[in-house]
Amino acid sequence: MIGLVLLWLTLGLVIGALAIAARLGTRTLGRRAWLLLPGIGATAALLGGIAGSLVFSLFYGTAVAAWCAVLGVAVGAWGLTHSWGRTGA
């Protein structure tokens, strides 16, 4: 199980790094994007992997972790961009 947790965290970090490479919200987030997007991806992948392995099985937990990381990074970047755009931070 420790191996799967490390795999899910790595998967989330990679998906967050790909979001940075795609410039997903980096204009508004600025230098904070290098920390925020991989962090959001790792957290979403870990939570999605745990939930997916409990609901489906350990085999499908990794696929659920990948999809949760993609959705988490996309929604997280959008939410942070819009919330910080309104507050002026």
**pLDDT at residue 7, rounded to an integer:** 94
C-alpha closest to that of 75 among 28, 30, 35, 37: 37
CA distance 86 to 15: 27
Q: Say if residue 89's pLDDT is above 80.
A: no
For 11-43, the pLDDT digits (tens) are 999 999 999 888 887 777 788 788 889 999 999
Structure pTM? 0.86
CA distance 85 to 32: 14
Least confident of 8-17, 23-32, 52-61, 64-73: 23-32
% pLDDT > 70, the chain:
93
Token digits of residue 76? 């997280």
Q: What are phi and psi of 25, to 5 degrees?
A: 75, 10
